[in-house]
Amino acid sequence: MTRVLILLGITALACRDKEAPKPATPGSAAVAVSAPAPVPKPRADKAPELLPGFGSDKVAVNVEDRFKNEDVDVAWKSHVEADLKKRLAKHPPSELECKASVCRLAITGSEADISAAIDDMQSLHDAAQSLTLSRPDPTKVVAYLTYERAD
């Protein structure tokens, strides 16, 4: 019984000076917490970018610039372009070019054709490391496929 009274007394002493926090007043050291800044939306006129993988020390590279600056590997190019033409036979690309590890393809057509082609391109994820799509206008979709080569 004595122990219970001692514990009750200690608890009462500990809670005696506890009050609800007072609101900050002007000039006090309290820091106002503001809502987080809104995340900017990507701009449609900016070329798509590839982000580095986890553990990679590479910086993000604009995939279009990477494609433009890459050398051509003729043997790899012909093999991959043939595979892409076969995979996209229902919606053949109007443009197709591969270099050493990046391919660029474009498909043009009606809104329904473009939507169906985009659905078909989802199957390319098993072959390519990444697939970056852009829609420069309603009648065209451009895709950049990057491959990780073990050469």
Could you write out the DSSP letters of every residue in 61-93? EEHHHHHHHPPP-HHHHHHHHHHHHHHTTTS--
Residue ranges of domains in the chain: 63-146
Instruction: Say what the pTM is.
Output: 0.58
pLDDT score at 60 = 43
List, edge to edge, every strand of the sheet that includes 140-146. Answer: 95-98, 102-108, 140-146, 130-137
The correct answer on CATH 3.30.980 for the domain covering 63-146 is yes
Residue 118 to residues 16, 67, 132, 134, 135: CA-CA distances in angstroms? 67, 21, 11, 10, 10
Tens-place pLDDT, residues 36-94: 656 555 555 555 454 444 333 344 458 899 999 999 999 999 999 999 999 999 999 99
- Determine how β-strand 49-50 pairs with β-strand 102-108: unpaired
Residue identified by tokens 């553990």 is: 55
**pLDDT tens for each residue of 94-135:** 999 999 999 999 999 999 999 999 888 888 888 889 899 898
Q: How far apart are CA 132 and CA 141, in angstroms?
A: 10
> Residue 130 and residue 122: Cα distance in Å, rounded?
11
Q: Which pLDDT belongs to residue 149? A: 82
